[in-house]
Chain A
Amino acid sequence: MKRRIPLIICFAIGILMIIQFMIPHPISREFGSTVNKWYIVLAAFALVLAIGNLIRHHGTKIRRKKTNWPYSIVTLTSMVAMSIIGFAGGVDPKSLYQTIYLNVLAPLGSTMFALLAYYMASAAYRSFRARSLEATLLLAAAFIVMIGFMPFGQYISPRLPAFAEWIMKVPNMASQRGIMFGVAFGSIATALKIILGIERSWLGGKK
């Protein structure tokens, strides 16, 4: 019974949501809107779970003094401090919350991402070698797209930007579309397997 009821709910809601998406009748739209509102509320609970999980994970790390445990103190302190500042002082453009966000979190996030440029440049230099025909083609396409999309590209040759655009619009688009079709068919198959009760791992992983 514990497994049968969730399977019945999944089947019924799955089929009803497919039908309501196709029928723009007021009753069908009202039903869809109500289910969507439930979903929004349920999704918000995921955030509560995530916060609980974060506290438990880092709490355990601090208690057992695992590797890099002082960073866990920073994480939890930051989370609590930002929550208090946000709730107490609001989130207006001139609030303390917004000031900390723009002057601490934003530069830290940008810095972390900017470090990738160094690793990418170093990795590209070391590994981007014309070892085979395929690698040479990849290298040539990358050069044409990089130079073609740079503002300098048009001065090297006026045809270069158009050629770079052709690479993106023809070979790239063909492969992207192929991948998209594959993903779409896979998604449909997985959704049908879940709705029809063939795929049951979401119930707890037991057969």
Chain B
Amino acid sequence: MKWYEAISKIDRRIIYLLLTVFVILPFFVPFKIRQNIMPQTQRLFDFVESIPPDDKVVMISFDYTPQTMPECHPMAIALLKHCFARNIPVLGLSFDIQAPGLAVEAFTTVVNELNLKASNYDDSLFYGKDYVYLGWKSGFTAAVLDMGESIAGVFPRDYFKHPVDSLPLMQKTKNYKDVAIAIVLSASAYPEYWVLYPQSRYGVKVGAGLTAVMAPKYYPFLQTGQFSGMMSGMKGAAEYEHLIVEKGYTKKLGRAETGMNSQSIVHLLIITIIILGNIGFFFSRRDQKQS
């Protein structure tokens, strides 16, 4: 076998092995690369920065599943840290049936971490006062539209079965007029429908956190201003983590940073093997033409 035939026919098991090694490597040999912040991530960060503390809520729609957790979960963690650091109340909800478990995990992780650091009672975070998780609801389009009239009408009880009207945060959050921005963390078309229905009807501001594969579809929404910002994929999450660290809201970078290191090295590997495959293909074709 000629050398160029060999590089265009690498056994798939070798590729799998290389991929495994390259994914695992950054977890054992950590390194830090400065993230180049994309404008859409900066826009979302700036929007959250511009919300006055203890005023309107940030609504986070947790619509991702365990399959897309590595990309979307760090976004949720970074967003929650940012909001709580600025005393912005958070209202969580879900329309994807697999999402509630992850939403509860995100809230629990961030609240426990911040409450451990809290120096006094006032600094601590409390369910019902600083954050509420409404849970899952069927009939997505009807539910997001009807929340413009009354959130309690759509979610009479929260995820933990408390009557929504009895929670202090919900007594001042009646509908979209009390929502600064709805940020949709999703791996599907939910953010688009937030623009189509509640934004066109009630003017609610919409932001998004999407898997990298979904992000290209949503660039038109950024250009028109229908999205107030967007995090795309693990890179978007890592960028948001960098932004909150730079601003001093937290000291440690999150899981997206390590994930991004693995992803970057794997991208380099994929680019290399594609180039090798093409070199092999080019020489093989030249041979065929000559013969």
Interface pick from A7-15, A53-61, A64-72, A123-131: A123-131
Q: Cβ of B270: which chain A residues have Cβ within 8 Å of it?
A: 121, 124-125, 146
Nearest-neighbor residue (CB-CB) of A131 within chain B: B281
CB distance from B178 to the nearest CB of A (A): 17
Cβ of A188 under 8 Å from chain B? no
CB within 8 Å for A151 and B143 given contacts A33-B149, A40-B138 = no
**Is the CB–CB distance between B260 and A143 below 8 Å?**
no
Cα distance A29–B146 in the bound complex, in angstroms:
9
Choose among A92, A110, A118, A150 the residue that contacts B267 (Cβ–Cβ < 8 A).
A150
**Is the CB–CB distance between B36 and A154 below 8 Å?**
yes
**Is the CB–CB distance between B159 and A91 below 8 Å?**
yes
Nearest-neighbor residue (CB-CB) of A30 within chain B: B149
B257-291 contacts to A (CB < 8 Å): 260, 263-264, 266-271, 273-274, 276-278, 281-282
Cα distance A165–B216 in the bound complex, in angstroms:
10
**Is the CB–CB distance between A98 and B201 below 8 Å?**
no
Cβ of A43 under 8 Å from chain B? yes
**Is the CB–CB distance between A146 and B104 below 8 Å?**
no
**Is the CB–CB distance between A40 and B69 below 8 Å?**
no
Most buried by B among A41, A129, A153: A129
**Is the CB–CB distance between A36 and B145 below 8 Å?**
yes
Q: Cβ of B36: which chain A residues have Cβ within 8 Å of it?
A: 151, 153-154, 161
Q: Cβ of B70: which chain A residues have Cβ within 8 Å of it?
A: 110, 114
**Is the CB–CB distance between B146 and A128 below 8 Å?**
no
**Is the CB–CB distance between A106 and B66 below 8 Å?**
yes
Choose among B143, B159, B281 the residue that contacts A129 (Cβ–Cβ < 8 A).
B281
Nearest-neighbor residue (CB-CB) of A116 within chain B: B67
CB within 8 Å for A108 and B12 given contacts A39-B142, A91-B160, A152-B264 = no
Give the contact-size bracket for chain A: 35 or more
Cα distance A100–B256 in the bound complex, in angstroms:
24
Nearest-neighbor residue (CB-CB) of A146 within chain B: B267
Q: Cβ of B266: which chain A residues have Cβ within 8 Å of it?
A: 117, 121
**Is the CB–CB distance between B69 and A106 below 8 Å?**
yes
Q: Cβ of B269: which chain A residues have Cβ within 8 Å of it?
A: 121
**Is the CB–CB distance between A176 and B216 below 8 Å?**
yes
Cβ of A185 under 8 Å from chain B? no
Cα distance A194–B277 in the bound complex, in angstroms:
50
A74-116 contacts to B (CB < 8 Å): 90-93, 98, 101-102, 105-110, 112-114
**Is the CB–CB distance between B217 and A36 below 8 Å?**
no
CB distance from A145 to the nearest CB of B (A): 9
**Is the CB–CB distance between A118 and B19 below 8 Å?**
yes
Choose among B139, B140, B217, B268 the residue that contacts A152 (Cβ–Cβ < 8 A).
B268
**Is the CB–CB distance between B19 and A117 below 8 Å?**
yes
Q: Which 5 pairs between the two chains have the least Cβ-Cβ distance? A: A109-B66, A43-B139, A36-B142, A40-B139, A39-B142
Question: A33-B146, A143-B271 known; 18 other A-B pairs, CB under 8 Å?
Answer: A35-B142, A36-B146, A39-B141, A110-B66, A114-B70, A121-B270, A121-B273, A128-B278, A146-B270, A146-B271, A150-B264, A151-B34, A151-B35, A161-B38, A168-B219, A176-B217, A176-B219, A176-B220
Q: List 13 A-B contacts (CB under 8 A).
A: A37-B146, A43-B142, A93-B108, A102-B101, A109-B69, A125-B15, A129-B278, A129-B281, A130-B278, A130-B281, A151-B35, A169-B219, A169-B223
